[in-house]
Amino acid sequence: MNIDIGETHIRLTTDLENINLKNYILKLRRDLEGYILLNPEFKISLDKLDKPKEIIPAIVNLMYDASIKCDIGPMATVAGAIAGMSLDYLISLGSTNSIVENGGDIAIINSEKILCGIYSNNEILGNNIAFKLKKRKNPLGISTSSGKIGHSISFGTADSVTVLGGSPAITDGLATKIANEVSGSVENGLNLAENYKEYFDGILIISGEEIGTMGHLPKIIEVENFNYKV
């Protein structure tokens, strides 16, 4: 199932029927757009902002918290936040096997083993590798940022920086933050990642002829080439 609303492009696989996820996402976007209308800095800031004390929409609150932890502007967490909240919505309806992918940011809970392709377009690896994910009862965020692929702002040159962790909003922000630091060598990205180890499970950086990892990653296997465009 595909759900396209503005900049939100969801590809959904779920074990549920009649979930009405589109209306839920519409509400999230209305809440976010309404907040931005009154607080335009939230949309344009490349740096973290102080969270206001007044009551704010749930998605805005999540984005503030994630951006503060990642030391990056709130909008760097938006795709992961929408994916993660959408997955939470599905879990609240009883789902045990759902994949919500929003422009390359993935929120997943899987009651069976699955493969998650790693799209880097690397000259050596191509798109022939994937994570082999074991069954899990808790949500997982998988976010990828690139200095060469996609429409998001990146100041680095990495083919891909993939971050895995419990919060898709945080993995989204960290993928962007770390990718900004990768220029040629993966070393700068790994050094920066050391500062955020409490917020992620594992990181995979692919840049040219170099590969760097940190933390705990699922098994990486070779797969047939796939073509995925954000």
State the average pLDDT for the chain: 89
Percent of the chain with pLDDT over 70: 88
Amino acid at the residue 131? F
Residue 230 lies inside a defined structural domain of this protein: no
pTM: 0.90
Q: Is residue 227 part of a domain?
A: no
Split into its structural domains, the chain has a count of 1
Q: What CATH number has the domain bearing residue 128?
A: 3.10.520.10
Produce one character per residue of 2-21: b if its CB has 16 or more CB atoms within 10 Å, e if not: ebeeeebebebebeeeebeb
What is the model's pLDDT at position 130?
Answer: 86
In a domain, 228, yes or no: no
Q: Does residue 23 fall inside a structural domain?
A: yes
With cut-offs at 50, 70 and 90, classify the pLDDT of residue 228: very low
- pLDDT tens digits for 108-167? 999 999 998 877 655 556 567 889 999 999 999 999 987 545 555 555 567 889 999 999
Would 195 be classed as within a structural domain? yes
In a domain, 190, yes or no: yes
Whether residue 150 lies inside any domain: the answer is: yes
Structural domain harbouring 155: 2-222
Within a domain: residue 16?
A: yes
